[in-house]
Amino acid sequence: MGVNPKRSIAGAAALAAASALLVGCSTADNALAAFSDTRPVSIGIDPDSAEQVVLGEIYSEIFNSMGYAVGVISLSDFAERDAVQLLRTQEVDLVISCTGTLLDAQDHAAARALAASGETGEALSVATYDAMQGTFPADIRTVDPSPAQGCGAGFSATQPATQPGTAPAAQPGTAPAGKPQLPQNIVPIFTDSKFDRRTVQRINFITRVMATEDIAEAAERVEGGEPVRAAVSEWLMEYANITIGLAPEN
C-alpha cells in the first residue's frame, strides 16, 4: 500500500455497506480453510469505524487461513463499552482496541498519571501497554502491541500521525478534550483459553507487522466506497501471504 494524503472522515453510507459485507464467514484462498467448519470464532467490531471494519477483515482472513469458521459481528454498543466489557457481555471471541484507550477506560487515574509522567516515545508506549495489561482480569489476554497507532490517533484531515506524548489534546488526530494523551497502539484482546499457542503466535505476528499509514489508507479507501476486502487484499498478500477472492467489477 502507498501512503495517501489524509482526508476528513466521510462516507457513512459506504462504511455501513462495507461493514455489512463483513457479517458472516469470509473466504481465504488457503488449503487450511477446508477445516473451517470445526473451529468457530467471532470478531466484534464497531460498524461506524472504517478502521474497525478494516482491522476486522484483516483478523478475519488470518483466522480463516488457519481453519476457523469466522464471523465478524457489528456491535451497536461498541462506543459505550470498552473492549474488556464487550468480551464479557457479547457473544464475541476477539475485540480490537488501542492501548491508551483501553487503559483510560479501565483505570482513568492511572492513564492520567502516565500521560503526565514526562515519558515520551517508545518508553511511553511500553509503559502504556504494561499498565493496560495490569488492568486485565485473569481470563483476558492480548499479544504484543502493534507499532500502528489507531483509535483516531493514526491520521487526521490536516496532519499526519501524531507522536504520542507530544501533541496537545486539542489538535486533530489526538486524544479528545479531557482524555489523557497516550499512545494508541492497536491491540486485539481475547479470552485466555480460546486459542491454541500456534494461533496466538499468528495473531501476534500479524499485529506486529501493521503500520499506521497502511491501516489509515485502507480505512480511507473503505470510507470512499471501496469494498473492504479489496482495500486490504494487497496488504494481506504482502504481509500474510493470503490471497482473497474479490468479486469482479461491473
pLDDT digits (tens, 9 = 90+) for 200-235: 999 999 999 999 999 999 999 999 999 999 999 999
Q: How far apart are CA 196 and CA 97, in angstroms?
A: 21
**What pTM did the predictor assign?**
0.78
| pLDDT on residue 39 | 87
Q: Within 13 Å and on the Cβ side, how many CA atoms surround 94? A: 27
The residue extents of the domains of the chain are: 12-105+138-153+184-240
> Which has the minimum average pLDDT: 15-19, 36-40, 57-61, 125-129?
15-19
| pLDDT on residue 241 | 94
Q: How far apart are CA 88 and CA 133, in angstroms?
A: 16
Give the three cell numbers for residue 31: 488449503
What is the CATH number that goes with domain 12-105+138-153+184-240? 3.40.190.10
Most confident segment among 153-157, 179-183, 203-207? 203-207
Q: How far apart are CA 206 and CA 229, in angstroms?
A: 16
